[in-house]
Structure 1
Amino acid sequence: MRLKSGLFATAALAVMLPGVARADEGMWTFDAFPAARMKQAYGWAPDQAWLDKTRAAAVRLTGGCSASFVSDMGLILTNHHCVATCVEENSTGSNNILVTGFTARTPGEEKKCAGQQAEVVTSIRDVTAAVKGAIGTASGAAAVAARNAAAARLEAEGCTDKATTRCQVVSLYGGGQYKLYTYRKYSDVRLVWAPEAQAAQFGGDPDNFNFPRYSMDASFLRAYENGKPVTTPAFLKWNPRAPQDGEATFVVGNPGSTQRLLTMDQLAFQREVALPISLTTQSELRGRLISAMKESPEKAREGAETLSGLENGLKVTIGRVKALNDPAFTARLAAAEADLKRRSAGNAAIGDPWSAISAATVAQRNSHIERSFATPSSQLFGYALALVRAASERQKPDAERLPGFSTSALPLLEKSVTDERPITPWIEQLRMEWSLSKAREYLGADHPQTKLLLGRESPEALSARLVSGTRLGDASVRKALWDGGAAAVAASTDPLIVYARSIDANARALQKRYDAEVDAPLISARAKLADARFAAYGDSNYPDATFTLRISYGKVQGWTEAGRPVPTRTVLGGTFDRATGAEPFDLPKAFVANQARIDKNVTYDFVTTNDIIGGNSGSPVIDKAGTVIGAAFDGNIHSLGGNYGYDGTLNRTVVVSTAAVQEALEKIYPAPNLVAELRGRRR
């Protein structure tokens, strides 16, 4: 259900040469959209005015999703799974709006989403010369420190108004370019409308990353400022129509991460070290959670969204493992790397970055387990570590702070730490027990880091003591510690704060070692690889995804599966045909109650050839006229290969149509005020 980055390969996956965009491939930055290439393929391409308007309406959600403004009153369209945590946190045992759905009849009923922030790009500036100049000839940890200091300085200079703006220096092409992104931010985001979870998650894990789909994975939020909805003159016009086969479509959003530029040595590290550990540990956590949820209906309710996320991530990991153990797939990747080496041979300015990356990858192998299990996994522990580190880092000059603690980054960190949100103690304890037990398993009981993490306690006893004893579940306690700074944190006797203080030095030392042995060598080597790709493939080169704003173009089109054509769309009536009465194919209650009213011929979900990845969840799907006709929420099973390559014959984006959402707003989950707003009428 969640569009996450991942990889699944088949023998038919045609991996493109690194940096060579073909067909509808490409997650393009807005300042480098390939208009000429699109016009050659489609006979039309958007002009600068179209791009500027679309960019100004695109929204990044700090929870890891994308979205868009769809009215001039701050109304935001995104996916249900992007707001499910907010819905869950606003639910109770007696009023579970995750199950029943939610509609705000008035602005006063709109519910705050803790930790959420909406951000809109206002400018993109190339700062490559400034960052590379700061790095100069530095090496090792000094190079990483110089890069981080330059980024912190540029961010601070770019955003003097921390209340309404956020600046972020982003590394593109693995360090070949650096861009300063400036955002207009809205820190008060509220829930407006969400269907039943079963409507959004119909088909559950079996249908995840598959098509045909029957999913109402859409919801609405609203951005507020000073207690009032913000005025947003730049928005996408709502267009509740069915898509037309073959029509051009654009997906605008923030793809999280791709790994299309990794070398073969880096892929081997993923296949042989990182992925096997992830697969084993994720599987065990899923099993522990399922077992605990069976203990009571209340635990089943409280753990539902956590389980959904775990199952999604596990499916992605399984796909990656399969792909990187496919000899035919890896042979094509090796051939692509060989082609770039051949084209770069004799270029003294490029040299041999592959050898430097190989050496850094050896160092990464040697430190991976220790870094992976440096701290336990838990929301409460995350609060504790953030408070401990913020208290220390805020005393330093900006240039000397850890990434994520710079002056420009602190407002969002403070919000995430101090916003009030419910905590589920048994999930906190379960996650901590799991992560600490895995640390002991992979490091060994006699490893110094295991002894540091556990002392003489078991994972179970330590987790129980810390979770039951802490007061960090209370937002007012966290706020007091944040405001009190170093003195308050040093004086705190809260067991989780004490524990975080005791293990932070080791985690910092591991990061410092990684910076010196892995990150620093990669800074120079990846920059040279970027130069090699530009020299070899020219302007068909686009950067890996970095959770920054991108635009992809494609068209509404099905594909052929096992010799049979897959249609481009499903209809609402298909939900009733697919239903079995048993989870996860049981009908949402509102669908049953309103079956006679629903127009079963309305287009529900559809597919396009747009190139997307995790982080694009909630991205608007836009037509040539610049109107929104859907929201991307998933990919088909082949699209998981998008992590390492794109195949236009198989990769598809899965979209919930605005036509289906409109039908839901009118007949299934009636929201007349919202319908009027989408039509441009004032409430």
Structure 2
Amino acid sequence: MTAQSIRLTSLLFVSILTAKADEGMWLFNKPPVRQVKEKYGFEMTPEWLSHLQHAAVRFNNGGSGSFVSDEGLILTNHHVGSGFLEKLSTAERDLLKDGFYADSLEAELPCPGLELYVLQGIRDVTQQVDAAVKGLSGEKAVAARRAVIAEIEKNATDQPDEKGDVVTLYRGGSYQLYLYKSYTDVRLVMAPDAQAGAFGGDPDNFEFPRYCLDYSFFRAYENGKPAKTPDFLKWNSNGPKEGELTFVAGHPGSTNRSVTLAELEDMRDRSMPDRLALMLRSEAILRAWADRDLENARRAKGSIVGTQNGRKAYMARLNGLLDPAFMQRKQASEDAFRKQLKADDQWAKADAAFDQIAKATAGEEALSPRIQMLEGGFGTGLYGMAKTLLRVADESEKPDGERLGEYQDASRVSLELGLLSDRPFYKNLETVRMADALMVLCDKLGATDPIVVKILAGKSPQERAAELVSQTQMDDVEVRRALYQGGKNAVDASNDPMIELARLVDPEGRELRAKAEEFSEATAEAHQEIAEARFAIEGDSNYPDATFSLRLSFGVAKGYTEDGVAIPYETTFSGMSARSVNQGGVAPFDFSPKWSASMAQLNPETPVDYVTTNDITGGNSGSPVVNEKAELIGLVFDSNSHGLVSDFAYTEERGRTVCVHPASIVESLEKIYHAKRVLDEILK
């Protein structure tokens, strides 16, 4: 049997050779049936899996959710929905601060730019992709792979509400076509106030015990009416008992468990420190601006919270990479595997692939400062709109298979939703962000770099940012629509300053992107060689890294020990009150007037949050937690700090998934927010 046939055959089976404990973000077409059966005595049936798959929802802003009624009602996190709460807010009506409840269908608020996806089916297209790039390398391989993927996605469906997405798994070892049903009419139903939804704020973020009511409700619509969603999760307010088997179905964004040591070293020494420095800088600048004015604070709140969240996550992950013991284990594992490869001549290419990855990583490192600066967006969504208009006009002139991926026909609905949705732009905030980005540009590339000189046009970063932002019309959706519909002629004729800036940067940006894609292609080819050898030697014992595609994890509700102290697996409202009192009742440990007026009615022993051993990462926010009956028993909203290293390796000793308990959602809906319509719908 050839290595290729071994690879493709092994993808059809599930092995338990190397997965440890409750580790794994498993594919729905390769679920851990045997693992769960042997460890917990529960057998996941095809019907059980299909029901859970069709109940799980992916948000286009990087979060997860689930249907919790047969009329399109969706449960997700408050922080997944917070960006849309911010967009729907005004100076007079702050939905983040005060929360929101629609007491009728007519009162539910449309969310511009929000798109949801529900996975309908998966098809293996590995042979088709591999055949298209066979014998090619470099730029030709990049073009051939892009073309065949575009063709597969374009021909995946002829339904306007469906979308095909080719997902790369095992670092190029497998390609799977995911077919999604999409919902572009999504409306806000209910969200708690931010003081409850983000109780504890940055100090408690990625910690436990926690007391967050991090939930919100949206609704999917079709043809102006609530969508019919028969595969929804029935509500179980009891939540899990300690030690009870739990499952999470969500969309983890990305992990790096299968990368090589050279790639981890690059993350440790370059990319993560660079990114962390930018986050710390952005946080400080946004905070200073927000402190100047209450309206500034409202406008910047979402950006500050998002930056804080990223900063804390990056610090924890970088700390994991700086652990010598972890890197030594990675080195030992890689050395042992390469020793196996060197023992058999048929795996010579796989062994050499590790060196190929190291070389490609070094090449990407050399490109990084320029591509980060010139393809990064200059800190403002207004420039992002201009760049999209410029490139979609140019790319639309090409055959579909030759376009950049985000401008291909299969992505057109999503592109238009983002480009043509009416959303607020706050020009004073955009100016602050762009001025900072231009200062970073000068720092990274040098103030005398030819492209930097052209971008600044003889002005300081602050002056140039103010000029560009004040004069652009990219905040006007009708201007964007006219340029988009007018195509290349209209965009070429535009003298909007943001489009002129995009036009100035575009040639070098494209060139840098093309070079980066060649390095990525070399890395993908090398990983494919490694994956083929690993599949042949070990079997398909290692689930693929996360790719923002639907995954299933299993675990149990379980506490842990911290510095010799036992941490119980769940918290209560009485603990929440004590946490507030012990912190002096000041932000972010205070309560809104609505909460303060009604807290006495809450059952103090109602569970608020709990932890499990489920394997998750970023993107799982909003994922449902279900039991053996596929009932909803919780809502994922975080990891504790020990769990953040899951990007590189799973740990069960102290790493935990943090979840909102369904009883606290019901209790707060009833006694704080008086959201009877939502309660009736989820409990019927």
Q: TM-score, normalising length from structure 2?
A: 0.95
Corresponding residue to 1:325 among 317, 322, 335: 322
Report deviation, 1:247. Answer: 0.6
CA distance in 1, matches of 2:505, 2:113: 26
Instruction: Determine if contact 1:570/1:603 at 8 Å carries over to the other structure.
Output: yes
Report deviation, 1:164. Answer: 0.4
- The reply to whether residue 303 of structure 1 matches residue 310 of structure 2 is no
Residue of structure 2 in register with 1:44 after alignment: 42
Superimposed CA distance per residue, residues 559-596 of structure 1 (whole angstroms, 9 cap, x where no aligned partner): 11111211000012211111021111112332211112
Q: Please give the residue correspondences for 1:168-183 in structure 2 after superposition, counting only pairs within 5 Å.
A: 168-183=165-180
Residue of structure 1 in register with 2:666 after alignment: 662
CA distance in 2, matches of 1:562, 1:679: 40
**Structure 1 residues without counterparts, runs of 5 or longer:** 1-17
Larger relative contact order, structure 1 or 2 (CA cutoff 8 Å, min sep 6): 1
- The reply to whether residue 367 of structure 1 matches residue 367 of structure 2 is yes
Instruction: Determine if contact 2:240/2:246 at 8 Å carries over to the other structure.
Output: no
Residue of structure 2 in register with 1:211 after alignment: 208
CA distance in 2, matches of 1:501, 1:535: 49
Instruction: Determine if contact 1:19/1:542 at 8 Å carries over to the other structure.
Output: no
Q: Please give the residue correspondences for 1:235-314 in structure 2 after superposition, counting only pairs within 5 Å.
A: 235-314=232-311
Residue of structure 2 in register with 1:527 after alignment: 528
- Higher mean C-alpha displacement, 536-545 vs 465-474: 536-545
- The reply to whether residue 61 of structure 1 matches residue 59 of structure 2 is yes
Instruction: Determine if contact 1:68/1:77 at 8 Å carries over to the other structure.
Output: yes
Q: Name the Cα RMSD after superposition.
A: 1.3
Instruction: Determine if contact 1:533/1:541 at 8 Å carries over to the other structure.
Output: no
CA distance in 1, matches of 2:481, 2:607: 47
Report deviation, 1:347. Answer: 4.6
CA distance in 1, matches of 2:536, 2:200: 47
Q: Which amino acid aligns with 2:565?
A: R
Q: Which amino acid aligns with 1:523?
A: A
Corresponding residue to 1:152 among 132, 135, 150: 150
Instruction: Determine if contact 1:344/1:536 at 8 Å carries over to the other structure.
Output: no
Superimposed CA distance per residue, residues 211-258 of structure 1 (whole angstroms, 9 cap, x where no aligned partner): 000000000000012211111111111111132011100000000000
Residue of structure 1 in register with 2:478 after alignment: 476
CA distance in 1, matches of 2:355, 2:454: 36
Q: Please give the residue correspondences for 1:64-103 in structure 2 after superposition, counting only pairs within 5 Å.
A: 64-103=62-101
Instruction: Determine if contact 1:88/1:97 at 8 Å carries over to the other structure.
Output: yes
CA distance in 2, matches of 1:670, 1:639: 35
- The reply to whether residue 448 of structure 1 matches residue 450 of structure 2 is yes
CA distance in 1, matches of 2:265, 2:132: 32
Instruction: Determine if contact 1:26/1:552 at 8 Å carries over to the other structure.
Output: yes
Superimposed CA distance per residue, residues 307-355 of structure 1 (whole angstroms, 9 cap, x where no aligned partner): 0000111112222332222212211111121122123222524342101
Residue of structure 2 in register with 1:353 after alignment: 353
- The reply to whether residue 28 of structure 1 matches residue 19 of structure 2 is no
Q: Which amino acid aligns with 1:359?
A: K
Residue of structure 2 in register with 1:510 after alignment: 512
Q: Which amino acid aligns with 2:58?
A: R
CA distance in 1, matches of 2:59, 2:95: 21
Superimposed CA distance per residue, residues 198-220 of structure 1 (whole angstroms, 9 cap, x where no aligned partner): 10111111100000000000000
CA distance in 1, matches of 2:432, 2:552: 40
CA distance in 2, matches of 1:539, 1:136: 23
Residue of structure 2 in register with 1:569 after alignment: 570
Instruction: Determine if contact 1:452/1:503 at 8 Å carries over to the other structure.
Output: no
Q: Which amino acid aligns with 1:480?
A: A
Report deviation, 1:673. Answer: 1.0
Instruction: Determine if contact 2:276/2:315 at 8 Å carries over to the other structure.
Output: yes
- The reply to whether residue 592 of structure 1 matches residue 590 of structure 2 is no
Aligned length: 661
Taking a change above 3 Å as real, the CA distance of residues 19 and 546 of structure 1, as seen in their structure-2 partners, is farther
CA distance in 2, matches of 1:19, 1:326: 27
CA distance in 2, matches of 1:233, 1:510: 47
CA distance in 2, matches of 1:61, 1:276: 29
Residue of structure 1 in register with 2:398 after alignment: 396
Residue of structure 2 in register with 1:11 after alignment: none
- The reply to whether residue 648 of structure 1 matches residue 615 of structure 2 is no
Instruction: Determine if contact 2:351/2:530 at 8 Å carries over to the other structure.
Output: no
Taking a change above 3 Å as real, the CA distance of residues 255 and 323 of structure 1, as seen in their structure-2 partners, is same
Report deviation, 1:439. Answer: 1.2
Taking a change above 3 Å as real, the CA distance of residues 48 and 219 of structure 1, as seen in their structure-2 partners, is same
Corresponding residue to 1:462 among 460, 464, 485: 464
For the residue of structure 2 that corresponds to 1:553, the secondary structure is: strand
Residue of structure 2 in register with 1:3 after alignment: none
Corresponding residue to 1:609 among 613, 618, 623: 613
Residue of structure 2 in register with 1:620 after alignment: 624
Q: Which amino acid aligns with 1:260?
A: R
For the residue of structure 2 that corresponds to 1:540, the secondary structure is: coil
Report deviation, 1:406. Answer: 0.8
Residue of structure 2 in register with 1:9 after alignment: none
- The reply to whether residue 499 of structure 1 matches residue 496 of structure 2 is no
CA distance in 2, matches of 1:220, 1:439: 40
For the residue of structure 1 that corresponds to 2:21, the secondary structure is: coil
Report deviation, 1:415. Answer: 0.5
Q: Which amino acid aligns with 2:152?
A: L
Report deviation, 1:481. Answer: 1.2
Report deviation, 1:19. Answer: 9.3
Taking a change above 3 Å as real, the CA distance of residues 588 and 537 of structure 1, as seen in their structure-2 partners, is farther
Superimposed CA distance per residue, residues 263-305 of structure 1 (whole angstroms, 9 cap, x where no aligned partner): 1111111122212211222111111111111111111111111
Report deviation, 1:454. Answer: 2.2
Q: Which amino acid aligns with 2:569?
A: T
Q: Which amino acid aligns with 1:169?
A: V
Report deviation, 1:436. Answer: 1.4
CA distance in 2, matches of 1:543, 1:427: 40
Residue of structure 1 in register with 2:313 after alignment: 316
Superimposed CA distance per residue, residues 430-484 of structure 1 (whole angstroms, 9 cap, x where no aligned partner): 1111111111101112223322432322211111111100111111111111111
Instruction: Determine if contact 2:239/2:634 at 8 Å carries over to the other structure.
Output: no
CA distance in 2, matches of 1:448, 1:515: 24
CA distance in 2, matches of 1:414, 1:598: 45
Residue of structure 1 in register with 2:579 after alignment: 578
Instruction: Determine if contact 2:357/2:526 at 8 Å carries over to the other structure.
Output: yes
Q: Which amino acid aligns with 2:561?
A: T
CA distance in 2, matches of 1:534, 1:27: 18
Superimposed CA distance per residue, residues 336-382 of structure 1 (whole angstroms, 9 cap, x where no aligned partner): 21122123222524342101101101101111111111141211111
Instruction: Determine if contact 1:610/1:652 at 8 Å carries over to the other structure.
Output: yes
**Structure 2 residues without counterparts, runs of 5 or longer:** 1-15
CA distance in 2, matches of 1:366, 1:676: 58
CA distance in 1, matches of 2:78, 2:517: 38
Report deviation, 1:121. Answer: 0.4
Corresponding residue to 1:131 among 129, 132, 135: 129
CA distance in 2, matches of 1:451, 1:129: 48
Residue of structure 1 in register with 2:425 after alignment: 423
Instruction: Determine if contact 1:340/1:536 at 8 Å carries over to the other structure.
Output: no
CA distance in 2, matches of 1:484, 1:167: 27
Residue of structure 2 in register with 1:545 after alignment: 546
- Higher mean C-alpha displacement, 319-328 vs 125-134: 319-328
Residue of structure 2 in register with 1:8 after alignment: none
For the residue of structure 2 that corresponds to 1:211, the secondary structure is: coil
Instruction: Determine if contact 2:86/2:96 at 8 Å carries over to the other structure.
Output: yes
CA distance in 2, matches of 1:583, 1:342: 56
Identity %: 41
Residue of structure 1 in register with 2:11 after alignment: none
